[in-house]
Amino acid sequence: MTESNGSQRSVGDSPPRVDGTGKVTGAALYVDDLPVPGAWHGRTVRSTVPHGILRAIRLDADFDWSQVVVVTAEDIPGRNLITLIVDDQPALVPLGGTIRHVEEAVAVVVAPTRAAALEASRHVTLEVDALPSIHDLDAALAAAVRLHGDDNVQKRLEIHRDDADIDAVLAACDHVVEGVYTTGAQEQMYIETQGMVARWEDGRCHVVGSLQCPYYVHTALKPLLALGDDEVIVGQAVTGGGFGGKEEYPSMLAAHAALASLKTGRPVKLIYDRGEDIAVTTKRHPARVRHRLGLRADGTLVAADVDVLIDGGAYVTLSPVVLSRAILHATGPYRIPHVRVVGRSMATNTPPHGAFRGFGAPQTTFAYERQMAKAAVRVGMDPIAFRRHNLLRDGDTTATGQVLSGSVGSDAVVDALEQALEAEPPTPATRFGTLSAPVRRGRGLAVCFHGAGFTGSGEARLMGRATVAALPTGGFEVRSSSTDIGQGALTIFTQIAAQALGVDPVHVHIAQASTDRVPDSGPTVASRTCMVVGRVVEQAATALRERLETWGRSASSAAPAASTASTASAPPTAPTPAPGTAAGAGAHDVLALARRHLDQVGEVAETRTYEPPAGVAWDDDTYTGSAYPVFGWAACLVDLAVDEDSLEVTVERCLHAIDVGRAIHPRIVKGQIEGGTLQALGWALWESVPYADGRVANPSMTDCIIPTSSDAPELETILVEVPYAYGPHGAKGVGEIPMDGPAAAVASALEQALGVACDELPLLPEVLQRLVAQGGAASIGASS
Amino acid sequence: MKLRLTLNGTARQLDVHPMRRLLDVLRADLALTGSKEGCGEGECGACTVLIDGEPVNSCLVPVAQAADHEVVTVEHLADEALMSDVQAALVEFGGTQCGICTPGIAVCATVALEREPDASRERLRELLAGNLCRCTGYQLIIDALADAQAARAAAARGHGAERGTGHPGATAS
Ligand code: FES
Ligand code: FES
C-alpha cells in the first residue's frame, strides 16, 4: 500500500472497492445465497385480469395441500396497505376487494421447496368479476373507466415562471418549435432478481433482502404487522443492482415474506424468478411530453410551454415525486424567461410504474433536447453554439425562480466535450468495417442538468443521519442506512471517513445497513448518497476525531500514565505519523486515542444530521424556489451509423462529459457514468417493454433485451469537476445524470442520418421503418 | 442416481436426480453459491461454470451431463490463491459494481484470455457477449481484461507482471 498516512491519500484516489474481492471470488452473499436452515419457499398468486372484484380464492380439491400453507389478506394482523406516499395499495387483495392490475397479489403459497411452492400456486384459482380496464394514457384521459377520482389524474403539478399569457408570448415569437415526444417503459433489469427472507424471533420480525432502502421497508411493515419500531428489523443483503427498481417494490416482497413466515412459523424465502420480476415489478414511467418552444430570430429562447403526461399505473406509489422531477427538468439548463409546465400522472390498469435512475427527468430531457436540436436547425445555428447562447450560468434564474449560485458546470462540460472532439478519437472504429450494407451516419448532441438530492424541501424533511463510532475491536465504524447497490457507497464512505478521521482506510469499517444497527440516513435514491449522506459521514467523522483529540489533550495533561497506555495499545498495523506531524493530529494518535478512550472511558461515537445549506427554500404550494440544493451538468455526443437495409443502428462513438463537483473515487464515478450511459443508449435503441391488455408482453431476458458488450460502444467519459461547497470535498450527485442526455443525442443523430423526425423511444428498427415510410424516404429500409 | 464428477479439483460422488440443473446442485447441495442465477434461460451468463474447460450456462445443464467430467466454478478460478490475475484486475479496474454478474464474467474471461491471448478489445467484447452486466456499461470490464492480457504478455516476455498501479490487490496473495 502506498499510503503511509491515510490522511495524505484517499479522497481523489481509486483504491480497489472494499467489497470487490468477495464479489469477484463468489464469496459475497446475496439474498438467495444466505443459508437459512429450515426455510420454506413462497410463491405469489396473482390476478389474471387487469380489473375486477375478487370473489373467491379456490384451492384445487384434488391437490395435496398437506405440505402447503396459503396466506391471504385474512392473515394480515395490521393494516392491509403498503405504506408509501398515498396509502392506496394493498399487500394482498381481500375478498370483495378490487383488483386493479393483472399482476396484483392475492395470496402467497408456501411450501418446503421452491418447486413445490410453484406447483401449488398453479392449483389456486380465483373467481373474479371482471370490470372494463384501461391501459394507456389516452384511455386514462378519456376516463370512460374511472380508477382515480373523476379524471384518473393521480397528481397534477404546475410551474409558472411568471404571470404572462404563454400563448400570447409564443404567438409573438419569431419561431415556435413544437413537438410531441413519447417514451416507453423501461425495465431496470438488475441481474439479481428481487428477493427477501423473513423470520420471526421473540415476537420480532426480521427481514433481509435485496433492497435499496431499509427504512422504507421498515415503515411499510410496522402498520401491516401491527408492530412497533423495535419489533421490525430490516437489513440489506449484498444487492445485485437496483437502479431504482429496488427502491419501493421490496416493501411488497417483505410484506409477503413476513406474512408467510408468521403463518408458517418458519423462515420464508421469497425469490422472484426472472419472468415474475419483469412482469410484476416497477418500470420507468411511459410518458408523453408536448413541448412548445418560442425563440427570437437570433436564437434567443423566449418561452416554453410544456405538458407532461406519465402513466402511473394502478396505484399512486412514487408517481407524484417522479412527476415532480419530470416537470422540474422540463425546460432544461437554459435561460427561458416565460415558462409554463403542467404535469399529470395518470392512473391505468397496469402494474405501477416507479423509480428508475433519472426518475422522470430522462423523459422530459428527451423532449427538451430534441426541441433544442430542432430549434438550432430552425434558426440556422450550430447546435453547440445554440446551446451556449442560451445556457444557464452562475447567477441565472431557473424556471422555478432558483438563482444558481456556485458549482454551475454548464460551460465547463461543453468546453470539455469540444476539446475532446478536437483531439483524435482514441480508437478508430474498426469494428464497423463489418457492416454489410450501405450505411448513413449522423451525429447528435445533448446538454442537460440534473438536480442532485431530494426535490424541494425533501432533504430538510428527511434529516438524514449518520454515525461514526470507535470500535472496541479497534478502528472505526460508519453507520448509515445508505446501501451499496453496486454504486460504491461502501468504498466512498470508507474514503470520506478515513480522510476526516485522519486514519488509513483499512481502519474504517462500514456497518451492515440494518435498521437495528444504523440510523435513518434517508433512502438510497436521488443521487444523494455521496453528496448528502457522505457529507454527514464526513461531519460525524470530523466531530469524532476532534472529540478524541480534545479528550486526549485534557487526559494527557491530567494523567501522565495515559501516554504510556497510548503507545502500548497502539495496534501494530497503525501507520507511523509523518515526521513533524503536530501532536494530536496524526493518524497514529487518533487510532491510539480511540483505543485509550475505550479502555479508560468507554465507547465513543458521534452522530450528525443533514442540514441543508442556508438559502435553500422551496414552496410546495406555488412550486417556486430552490428545487434542488445543486445541479449536475452534462454534455453528450453520439455518432452512429444506420444500416440502410435493416435499419439496425450501431453507436460508433459516445462521448459524455459530466460535472460531478469532485470525484471522491474517479474510477467508481467513471463506472457510474458508463453504466448509466449504456442504460440510456439501451432505452433509446434496443430496450422495449410492450404491454398487451395491461400485461408485460415480453417477460423474459430472451425477449426483454438489454445491451451486451458487443452492442456497447467504447464509452468516452470525461469527468469535469466544478466543486460544490456543501458536498464532501466538493462532490455532488452523479448517479442519475448519465441517464438523461444520451437518448436525445441518439434521436437527433438518427434524424440527421435518415432525414426523418425521431421523436419516440425506443427507436427499434421497426419503428425507424415506420418513420421512414411516413417520412417518404423510400430508398431507405426498402429491403427489410 | 449416483454420479461421479471432478469438482474444483476434487473427485466427488453425488446422489442426485439426474435432471436437476447443475446450477441448483452446486448452489443448494454443495453450498457453492458463487454461481448466480440471473435468468434461468441461458441469456445472462451469471451461472457460467467450466465443464472440461468449456464455459457453459449451468442453468441449462442437467447435472447428469456433468457426470464423469471436470467442473470448475468461480470459487476455484485461482486454485489456492485468493484471486487470479483476471479476478484481481476486475477488482482493481472497477470491472465489478454490484457484482452479481462478476463470477460469470470472471469464469468466461479466464477462458477467453487463455484461448485468445491477443484478442483485441473488440474481440473481447464478442467473447463476453453472453455475459450481461447492467452496471458497468462494460467499459471497465474490458479495461480490466486488456490490462490482465498486457500483464501476461509482459510476463511472457520476461518483464515480470507490470500492473498499472502496482496496488497489492492486483496480485494474488
Ligand atoms: S442464469 Fe444461466 S444464463 Fe442466466
Ligand atoms: S456489476 Fe452489476 S451486473 Fe455487472
Residue ranges in A205-266 assigned as alpha helix (H): 214-225, 250-264
What is the pairing mode between strands A760-761 and A175-183?
Answer: parallel
pLDDT the model gives residue A436: 61
Percent of chain A with pLDDT over 90: 88
Of B19, B45, B76, the last residue of a domain is B76
Q: Name the residue of chain B whose CA is nearest to A113's CA.
A: B28
The 3-class SS string of A557-605 reads: HHCCHHHHHHHHHCCCCCCCCCCCCCCCCCHHHHHHHHHHHHHHCCCCE
**Residue range A222-232, pLDDT digits in tens:** 999 999 999 99
Interface contact flag, A274 B40, Cβ < 8 Å? yes
pLDDT the model gives residue A589: 87
Average of per-residue pLDDT across A122-131: 98
What's the CATH code, domain A34-131+211-271?
Answer: 3.90.1170.50
Q: Which of A246, A259, A281, A339 shows the shortest CA–CA distance to A94?
A: A259
The CATH number assigned to the domain holding B48 equals: 3.10.20.30
User: How many Å is the maximal CA-CA distance in chain B?
Assistant: 52
* In the block, residue with C-alpha cell 438563482: A403
**Residue range A738-748, pLDDT digits in tens:** 999 999 999 99
The phi and psi torsions of B14 (rounded to 5 degrees) equal: -120, 145
Same domain, B7 and B57: yes
pLDDT the model gives residue A777: 58
* In the block, residue with C-alpha cell 393521480: A154
CB neighbour list of residue B124: distance below 8 Å, 6 or more residues apart: A709, B109, B112, B142, B145, B146
Note whether A743 and A456 are within 8 A (CB): no
Interface contact flag, A709 B106, Cβ < 8 Å? no
* In the block, residue with C-alpha cell 484517499: A10
**Residue range A51-103, pLDDT digits in tens:** 999 999 999 999 999 999 999 999 999 999 999 999 999 999 999 999 999 99
Same domain, B95 and B114: yes
Same domain, B71 and B92: no
Give the best residue of B48, B139, B140, B142 to mutate against chain A (max A CB count within 10 A): B139
Question: How far is A246 from A194, CA to CA, in rounded Å?
Answer: 8
pLDDT the model gives residue A588: 60
Q: Which of B152, B111, B149, B148 shows the shortest CA–CA distance to B130?
A: B111
- Residues in B touching A664 (Cβ below 8 Å): none
The answer to which of A227-241, A700-714, B159-173 has the lowest mean pLDDT is B159-173
pLDDT the model gives residue A776: 66
pLDDT the model gives residue A5: 40
pLDDT the model gives residue A562: 36
**Residue range B107-129, pLDDT digits in tens:** 999 999 999 999 999 999 999 99
Question: How far is A741 from A613, CA to CA, in rounded Å?
Answer: 28
Q: How many domains does chain B have?
A: 2
pLDDT the model gives residue A430: 41
Q: E-strand spans in A60-123?
A: 69-71, 98-99, 105-111
Same domain, B70 and B124: no
Q: How many CB atoms lie within 10 A of CB A64?
A: 10
**Residue range A463-492, pLDDT digits in tens:** 999 999 999 988 999 999 999 999 999 999
pLDDT level of residue A460 (50, 70, 90 thresholds): confident
| A567: pLDDT strictly greater than 80 | no
Of B56, B76, B96, the last residue of a domain is B76
| A600: pLDDT strictly greater than 70 | yes
pLDDT the model gives residue A526: 87
Atom 3 in ligand 1: residue holding the nearest Cα: B42
Question: How far is A7 from A13, CA to CA, in rounded Å?
Answer: 12
**Does residue B12 belong to any structural domain of this protein?**
yes
Note whether B8 and B71 are within 8 A (CB): yes
Interface ipTM: 0.94
Atom 3 in ligand 2: residue holding the nearest Cα: B133
- Ligand 1 nearest atom to the CA of residue B43, by list position: 3
Domains A20-29+457-609 and A287-455+624-775 belong to one CATH topology: yes
CA A338 vs CA A22, A73, A78, A624, A737: distances in Å? 54, 51, 50, 14, 25
Grid cell digits, residue A106: 392475492
Ligand nearest to the CA of B43: 1
**Residue range A632-667, pLDDT digits in tens:** 999 999 999 999 999 999 999 999 999 999 999 999
| A3: pLDDT strictly greater than 80 | no
- CB-count exposure of residue A604 (10 Å: 0-12, 13-18, 19+): middle
**Does residue B162 belong to any structural domain of this protein?**
no
The 3-class SS string of A466-509 reads: EEEEECCCCCEEEECCCCCCCCCHHHHHHHHHHHHHCCCHHHEE
Average of per-residue pLDDT across A315-344: 98
Question: How far is A509 from A468, CA to CA, in rounded Å?
Answer: 10
Helix (H, G, I), strand (E, B) or coil at A554: helix
pLDDT level of residue A307 (50, 70, 90 thresholds): very high
Which residue type does A289 have?
V
Average of per-residue pLDDT across A196-223: 97
Question: How far is A343 from A341, CA to CA, in rounded Å?
Answer: 7
Q: Give the CATH class of A287-455+624-775.
A: alpha beta
Helix (H, G, I), strand (E, B) or coil at A327: helix
Domain, as residue range, for B24: 2-76
**Residue range A421-439, pLDDT digits in tens:** 998 766 544 444 455 679 9
**A504 Cα distance to chain centroid:** 31
Helix (H, G, I), strand (E, B) or coil at A411: helix
Average pLDDT across chain A, whole number: 92
The 3-class SS string of A158-221 reads: EEECCCCCHHHHHHCCCEEEEEEEEECCECCCCCCCCEEEEEEECCEEEEEECCCCHHHHHHHH
| A702: pLDDT strictly greater than 90 | yes
pLDDT level of residue A780 (50, 70, 90 thresholds): low
Question: How far is A195 from A189, CA to CA, in rounded Å?
Answer: 14
The CATH number assigned to the domain holding B134 equals: 1.10.150.120
Which residue type does A390 have?
N
Q: Tell me the pTM.
A: 0.94
Question: How far is A509 from A541, CA to CA, in rounded Å?
Answer: 12
**Does residue B166 belong to any structural domain of this protein?**
no
- CB-count exposure of residue A216 (10 Å: 0-12, 13-18, 19+): buried
Of B76, B111, B134, the last residue of a domain is B76
Chain B residues 23-62 with a CB less than 8 Å from chain A: 27, 31-41, 43-44, 46
- Residues in B touching A26 (Cβ below 8 Å): 32-35, 73-75, 103
Same domain, B90 and B138: yes
Average of per-residue pLDDT across A321-331: 98
Same domain, B71 and B28: yes
Q: Give the CATH class of A20-29+457-609.
A: alpha beta
| B1: pLDDT strictly greater than 70 | yes
Q: What ranges do the domains of chain A cover?
A: 20-29+457-609, 34-131+211-271, 287-455+624-775
More confident residue, A616 or A212: A212
Note whether A530 and A492 are within 8 A (CB): yes
